Amino acid sequence: MPGVAGTTAGTTLTFATSPDLKPMFARAVLNGRFSADGLPQTVAERRGIRVDVGHVVDYAHVCGFSVGTSLPMTYPHVLAFPLQVALMSRREFPLSLVGLVHVENAITWRRPLVPEDVLDLRVSASGLRPHRRGRLVDLVNEVSVDGQVVWSGVSTYLARGTGDPAAVSAEAPDVTELARSTGGAVWRLDEGTGRRYARVSGDVNPIHLHALTARALGFDRAIAHGMYTYARVVSALGPRVPAAGTSRVWFRKPVRLPSTVLLKVSPDARHAVVVPRTGEGEHIVVETTPARRRPPPTRVPNTRFVKS
């Protein structure tokens, strides 16, 4: 059980270790759907996190990252996601966790994180707002080292339902020309892709695990985790990812498993898109922007980042 502290500003859930997602998903099913208009002033925290190097290596292997001296840029999301679920599975959260759709994600980093960094993680919810197909909410994740925020992420989720036709949402950049260009890296994703990512991420949402459990929730087949597909794009960019910057991803069309898709990257690596090998549409769109200011120097670890 997490430590819980109440203050005039709200409630803080403090976790000594990463919470187990399975009972929280089960609790979310039992809690049902709510219709409150506001978000509770609750935050979830883990402090003094020392990353498990073996786990990071497993994550890197699943997502295609080379193992080096810094953490994959998307890895802190894996640390933050259980705290997101801890917030969204509580009864006072206005939207049901079951059925939420991850539609967009933005990550900003001031420098690469290294295995020696001791991380403080804080997750909160904000920005409950209307959407054309329901309501949106942002889960805001902040990773601090020595009191300074060095990595932050915003995960935007859609609760489908009665929407507002006049609602305005951030649109992905137009990558039509890139998506229709010839060539691209071929990815063949087998039926077990979702289970492998679930083992390293903890995201055991049934829509990702097997066709049978996905059908029970309205999908004809299992679908790949959006953050897995995004991590694959980031890993493919390799050294073209800046040392500091912002990366945004829009999840447009689920990748059904098994499936074969194409990754296409613009010459300047600012934009990337994953499209079906056959058919129309875009699975995800990624935009990466380098930081304008020179980042602070990266701490150099004493040892290489390897799994013992």
The verdict on 126 and 16 lying in the same domain is yes
DSSP-derived letter for residue 223 is B
Whether the pLDDT of residue 18 is over 60: the answer is yes
Q: What share of the chain is helix, strand, coil (3-state, %, to 5)?
A: 25, 35, 45
Lowest-confidence range among 26-30, 47-51, 175-179, 201-205? 26-30
Domain of residue 203, CATH code: 3.10.129.10
- The answer as to whether 114 is a domain residue is yes
Averaged pLDDT for residues 200-214: 87
> What integer pLDDT is reported at residue 299 of this predicted model?
55
Strands 10-14 and 42-50: parallel
- d(CA 65, CA 67) in angstroms, rounded, equals 6
**Is there a single domain that holds both residue 155 and residue 180?**
no
More confident residue, 24 or 45: 45
Identify whether residues 15 and 103 lie together within a single domain.
yes
**How far, in Å, CA of 261 to CA of 256, rounded?**
10
- pTM for this prediction: 0.88
Give a yes or no: residue 298 inside a domain.
Answer: no
Residue 251 to residue 258: CA distance in whole angstroms: 18
Residue 302 within a domain: no
d(CA 262, CA 240): 19
Same domain, 266 and 136: no
SS (H, E, C) 22-76: HHHHHHHHHHCCCCCCCCCCEEEEEEEEECCHHHHHHHHHHHCCCCCCCCCCCHH
Instruction: Kindly report, residue by residue over 256-292, the tens digit of the pLDDT.
Output: 999 999 999 999 999 999 999 988 899 999 999 999 8
Same domain, 270 and 203: yes
State which residues form the domain around 5: 1-167
